Structure 1
Amino acid sequence: MRLVLDAMGGDHAPDAVVDGGVLFARAYPGHELVLVGDATRVRPVLERAGAPPNIHLHHASEVVEMDDPATAAFRRKRDSSLRVGFELVRQGEASALVSAGNSGAVMAGGMLTLGRIPGVERPAIAALFPALKGEGRCLLLDAGANVDCRPSHLAQFAVLGEAYSRTRLGVKRPRVAVLSNGEEESKGTQLTRDACALLRRSDLEFVGYVEGKDLFSGDVEVVVTDGFTGNIVLKTSEGVGMGITGLLRSAIEKRGGLPEKLGALLLKPTLLGLRRVMDYAEYGGAPLLGLQGVGIVAHGRSSPRAIHNALVTTLQHVRAGVQEELTRCIANAAAWLPPHQRGRKADGDEGAD
């Protein structure tokens, strides 16, 4: 299999991205990796890292920067690493693209280059959260691709998320819910109430509303919301994870006596395991579900380990046949989903970094 990696995407590109690509290529010598980016900047990093023979460099002279207006930049910079990478996927020269760059541009580029699965109005970023019980994972979408959503968008997100959870994560019958400010039917907004009305007509295992805490409870496997709310939830959760780790370290170092420090030493393996569960780098990348092709969004601050894990996630995504199942499920859902509404196009600039 051949994967494309946007070598210029992310806060620490190209160094961290290229190093992560090299880690992946060494671990998976039976697969090829194409690094797309400015050869004058990427080649020295490759030479320093000692790149294996299954890595190839494809030159692209431009970069979509993190603060660029996403859709406009993608259209204007025709030789950007992101655009050239998506073109390789569209032309069948690669199976998927991974980028840690401007997530709005990744969404816009995917839609403009690959198009959407028939019946999907807007693709969604699907982010994984650790759960305390059940399958141990909860999928949240949209995690930042679409700020403004209609009820039909949330219903489509539910279909896409259920199919992904079942096909890629191995959940036999994923439970699906809408994120709200309470579990009672009277809570929520007009958007969430209308989305619930649609989902009650579906053949999904729909359980109604859940609150933010239920992302971690294990009581549901798929939670849908608009991209504005979803991205806030995602970034807040990341901050809480880092905050807990920092507060524990500070308490032990500054106020803990010898017993506390000995206890921390004994608990170190457990705390490291907890950190791995909460660390976004372990999950690598989030798939952009709904494209007619595979696009994976990695964290903008991705380290080499995070890039490596994003590529592993991408490889598993393609192997599992997720795309085929997404297409089949959306087609079947046409029986209860409302007809496609022609309105303002999803603007890639709405995507969150």
Structure 2
Amino acid sequence: MRLVLDAMGGDHAPGAPVEGGVLFARAHPDHEVVLVGDTAKVTPLLGKGLPPSNLRIHHASEVVEMDDHASTAFRRKRDSSLRVGFELVRDGHADALVSAGNSGAVMAGGLLTLGRLPGVERPAIAALFPALKGGGRSLLLDAGANVDCRPSHLAQFAVLGEAYVRLRLGVARPRVGVLSNGEEPSKGTPLTREASELLRQSDLDFAGYVEGKDLFSGDVQVVVTDGFTGNVVLKTSEGVGMGVVGLLRQAIEKRGGLSEKLGALLLQPALAGLRRMVDYAEYGGAPLLGLRGVGIVAHGRSSPRAIHNALGAALATAQAGLQEELTRCIANAAAWLPTHQRGKKGTDEAVSD
């Protein structure tokens, strides 16, 4: 497999992406990593000695900045690392792209360059969450690509997410829920109520409304919502995860007694495991489900380790043969899923990271 890495994307670019790309290339000698970016800036970051033989640089002179308007910047900066990277995937020179850059621009770039799978109205960012059961993971989508959604969009997200969880996580029949402010059918909004009505007509294992806590319970494996709500949930969960670990450490340090210190020492492996479970760097990145190709959105603050893991997610997604299954599932859903005329509106509604 050949993986494209946007070397200029992210808060810590190009340093973190380049280091993460080198780490991945050394760990996976059978696969190639293409660093797309300014050669003059990328080359000195490769370190002393010869770089891995399966890593190369593809020059791109421009950068889509984190505060750029997503689709406008992608269109105007024709030699940006993000655009050049997507074009490599589109033209068959690479199997997947990873970027920690402007997430709105990554989505816009995927739409403008790769396009949608047949029948897909809106691609979605699919974010993994730690869960207590059900395979130890749950999937939330959309996590930030589409601010305003129609009921049919949420229903399509459910179809895409269910297929992804089956193929990538090995859950034979994932349960699907619509995120709401309560489990009762009378709760929610017109969007969630209409989406639920559609999903009740499907052949999915539909659980109805679920609450935020159900993301972590594992009782459902796929949770769908609009991109605005999903992004808020994602960012809040990141903050809570980091806060819990920090508060535990702070409480232990404040007590400061011998028994507390001994207890903390004994708990270190468990606390380290908890930190890994809630750390976004462990998950690497979120796939853009519904594109004609594999695109992975990494966190804007990605460290080299997070980039390494995002490349791992890209490799696994590309190897899973998702595109054929997603296309098949969307086609099968046409019997119960209404469709609407698609325009360019979707590319300009992305939520920036």
AA partner of residue 171 (structure 1): V
Aligned partners of 1:287 and 1:22: how far apart in 2?
21
**TM-score normalised according to structure 2 size:** 0.98
Residues 102-181 of structure 1: pairs in structure 2 closer than 5 A: 102-181=102-181
AA partner of residue 189 (structure 2): T
Superposed displacement of residue 254, structure 1: 2.1
Check 1:17–1:344 CA distance in 2 against 1; reply closer, same or farther (3 A cut): closer
Residues 238-249 of structure 1: pairs in structure 2 closer than 5 A: 238-249=238-249
Superposed displacement of residue 256, structure 1: 3.1
Superposed displacement of residue 248, structure 1: 1.1
Check 1:330–1:32 CA distance in 2 against 1; reply closer, same or farther (3 A cut): same
Please name the residue that 1:328 is paired with: 328
CA RMSD of aligned residues (A): 1.1
Superposed displacement of residue 318, structure 1: 1.1
Does the alignment pair 1:235 with 2:230?
Answer: no
Aligned partners of 2:49 and 2:208: how far apart in 1?
50
Q: Secondary structure at the match of 1:208?
A: strand
Alpha-carbon contact 1:285-1:309 (below 8 Å) kept: yes
Residues 330-349 of structure 1: pairs in structure 2 closer than 5 A: 330-342=330-342, 345-348=345-348
Residues 55-70 of structure 1: pairs in structure 2 closer than 5 A: 55-70=55-70
Residues 303-318 of structure 1: pairs in structure 2 closer than 5 A: 303-318=303-318
Alpha-carbon contact 1:107-1:351 (below 8 Å) kept: no
Aligned partners of 2:249 and 2:51: how far apart in 1?
37
Alpha-carbon contact 1:231-1:352 (below 8 Å) kept: no
Residues 81-96 of structure 1: pairs in structure 2 closer than 5 A: 81-96=81-96
Aligned partners of 2:120 and 2:154: how far apart in 1?
11
Aligned partners of 1:51 and 1:296: how far apart in 2?
24
Aligned partners of 1:45 and 1:51: how far apart in 2?
10
Aligned partners of 1:202 and 1:292: how far apart in 2?
24
Q: Secondary structure at the match of 1:212?
A: coil
Q: 1:76-96 deviations in whole A, cap 9, x for unaligned? A: 000000000000000000001
| Uncovered stretches (5+) of structure 1, i.e. residues with no partner | none
Work out the number of aligned pairs and report it: 353
**TM-score normalised according to structure 1 size:** 0.98
Please name the residue that 1:265 is paired with: 265
Q: Secondary structure at the match of 2:122?
A: coil
Superposed displacement of residue 343, structure 1: 5.5
Alpha-carbon contact 1:71-1:349 (below 8 Å) kept: no
Alpha-carbon contact 2:70-2:352 (below 8 Å) kept: no
Please name the residue that 2:182 is paired with: 182
Please name the residue that 2:282 is paired with: 282
Aligned partners of 1:49 and 1:152: how far apart in 2?
54
Q: Secondary structure at the match of 1:209?
A: strand
Please name the residue that 2:216 is paired with: 216
Aligned partners of 1:152 and 1:35: how far apart in 2?
37
Check 1:8–1:349 CA distance in 2 against 1; reply closer, same or farther (3 A cut): farther
Superposed displacement of residue 293, structure 1: 0.5
Check 1:11–1:349 CA distance in 2 against 1; reply closer, same or farther (3 A cut): farther
Aligned partners of 2:50 and 2:216: how far apart in 1?
41
Superposed displacement of residue 324, structure 1: 1.3
Check 1:171–1:224 CA distance in 2 against 1; reply closer, same or farther (3 A cut): same
Aligned partners of 2:139 and 2:342: how far apart in 1?
28
Q: 1:183-205 deviations in whole A, cap 9, x for unaligned? A: 00000000000000111111100
Superposed displacement of residue 50, structure 1: 4.7
Please name the residue that 2:23 is paired with: 23
Aligned partners of 2:320 and 2:22: how far apart in 1?
24
Alpha-carbon contact 1:11-1:301 (below 8 Å) kept: yes
Aligned partners of 2:124 and 2:319: how far apart in 1?
21
Alpha-carbon contact 2:71-2:109 (below 8 Å) kept: yes
Aligned partners of 1:268 and 1:49: how far apart in 2?
37
Check 1:316–1:344 CA distance in 2 against 1; reply closer, same or farther (3 A cut): closer
Does the alignment pair 1:2 with 2:2?
Answer: yes
Q: 1:109-142 deviations in whole A, cap 9, x for unaligned? A: 0000000001111110000001112221100000
